[in-house]
Amino acid sequence: MLTWRQELERQWYAGGVVADLLRPLGAIYCALAARRRARARRLPGALPSIVVGNLNVGGSAKTPVTMALLRYLQSHSWHPAAISRGYGAHPAQEPYVVLADDSPACAGDEPLLLRTVAPVYLSRARHAGIAAAAAAGHDIVVLDDGFQHLVLQPSLSLVLLQGERPLGNGRCLPGGPLREGKTALRDADALLCDDAAAGSAELVGVELPSFRFEQQVTRLSRLPDSTQEVPLQALCNRHVHAVTGIARPERFQHTLESLGARVTLHAFPDHHVFCQQDLAGIPAPLVITRKDAVKCAQLAGLPETWVLEIGIHWEPSFGHWLDQRLATLRSPQ
């Protein structure tokens, strides 16, 4: 049975009486968000910055895209760092440099995942985090989920859109999934859309560079030793239990099913910090995401657990566009 929150989220995309009743509140929220953006006094940070964000609440591949951008920058002779507000994190101070052995309670799940690619600085005040990265010798930063942080004027701003209805019913919270209205896209430099979103009628009239990306399964590994790879064929016709605490668990389920698995889904709230009791009694094999793996790796006595790893692939034209923009940001030697 759906929880009240899951039912509301379903109505944001499929329609329903509750979402309709909340429409007036959504209109107020949207107007306030537009006023806040219009009145924002934005200042650049101490380093060039790339913001990865979205308009709607919930997952839209921001963290995987941030990781892909960090790797891209590293391969093009940059020395990047990631900046995160650290949802659910409780660091001793801010800015805080995430350590490899930090707990999810200290650093948050997404920062720990980003830490596997590049140094991560936790700071709700993004300017302070960027200044700390500059002091450590970095030359560019990528902000995971920073489109609504209106104090910062980023060098580049990318908005991610997914699904046939990337803007849902087009309404703001709580009557719809949007953090702010469609007009906020005017502050973006480019859109990254999956195939479904790229063909959506909701984006008609949006005059921005738009590029396609897709999430691709890269490998299946064992927890806690990620060097132990499991053939993807092991999922074919196998009954597995998908355990996840992400915003769109149904997408994880569909991915596993596309690989031939028969799936029982155990969905926990987004950013859920797992404990031993959560997994007790769930038959092996368990399959989890990399984001959930950083929260489960230290749990003792886990049943057989596999980690499905996802990578990001974008069309070549985005790489060409990004190279041109990055060339204007690099400081002369």
Render pLDDT for 208-258 as a digit per residue (tens, 0 to 9): 999 999 999 999 999 988 899 999 999 999 999 999 998 888 889 999 999
Q: Which of 235, 280, 290 is nearest to 259 (CA)?
A: 235
Cis (ω within 30 of 0) for the bond into 209?
no
User: How distant, in Å, are the alpha carbons of 30, 31, 42, 199, 260 from that of 183?
Assistant: 10, 11, 18, 19, 41
User: How distant, in Å, are the alpha carbons of 194, 195, 197, 203 from that of 164?
Assistant: 9, 9, 5, 11
Q: Which of 151, 147, 132, 153 is nearest to 81 (CA)?
A: 132
Residue-level pLDDT at 104 = 87
Q: Which two tokens stand for residue 57?
A: 């609440």
Taking 70 as the threshold, does the pLDDT of residue 333 lie above it?
A: no
Give residue limits of the domains in the chain: 39-213+314-327, 216-313
Indicate the fold that domain 39-213+314-327 takes in CATH: Rossmann fold (3.40.50)
Residue-level pLDDT at 212 = 97
Residue-level pLDDT at 193 = 96
Q: What is the pLDDT of residues 309-327, one digit of tens each?
A: 999 999 999 999 999 999 9
Q: What is the pLDDT of residues 54-105, one digit of tens each?
A: 999 877 799 999 999 999 999 999 999 999 998 888 999 999 999 989 988 8
Taking 60 as the threshold, does the pLDDT of residue 332 lie above it?
A: no
Q: Which of 1-10, 131-140, 210-219 has the lowest mean pLDDT?
A: 1-10
Neighbours of 289 (CB within 10 A): 22
Cα gap 146→328, rounded to integer Å: 21
Q: Which of 259, 245, 247 is nearest to 217 (CA)?
A: 259
Residue-level pLDDT at 4 = 81
Q: What is the pLDDT of residues 150-209, one digit of tens each?
A: 999 999 999 999 999 999 999 999 999 999 999 999 999 999 999 999 989 888 888 999
Q: What is the pLDDT of residues 285-298, one digit of tens each?
A: 999 999 999 989 87
Report how far Cα 164 is from the mean position of its chain's Cα atoms: 18
pTM: 0.93
pLDDT band at 1 (very low <50, low <70, confident <90, very high): low
Q: What is the DSSP track for 107-164?
A: H-HHHHHHTTTS-EEE-SSHHHHHHHHHHTT-SEEEEET-TT-TTB--SEEEEEE-SS
Look at 280 and 53; give whichever has higher pLDDT. Answer: 53
Residue-level pLDDT at 247 = 84
**Which sign does the torsion angle of CA 266, 267, 271, 277 carry?**
negative
Residue-level pLDDT at 2 = 61
Q: Which of 24, 33, 29 is nearest to 184 (CA)?
A: 33
Mean pLDDT over the full length of the chain? 93
CA atoms within a 13 Å half-sphere pointing along the CA-CB vector of 105: 3
For residue 274, give the H/E element and its range.
none
Cα gap 47→149, rounded to integer Å: 16
Cα gap 72→184, rounded to integer Å: 27
Residue-level pLDDT at 231 = 96
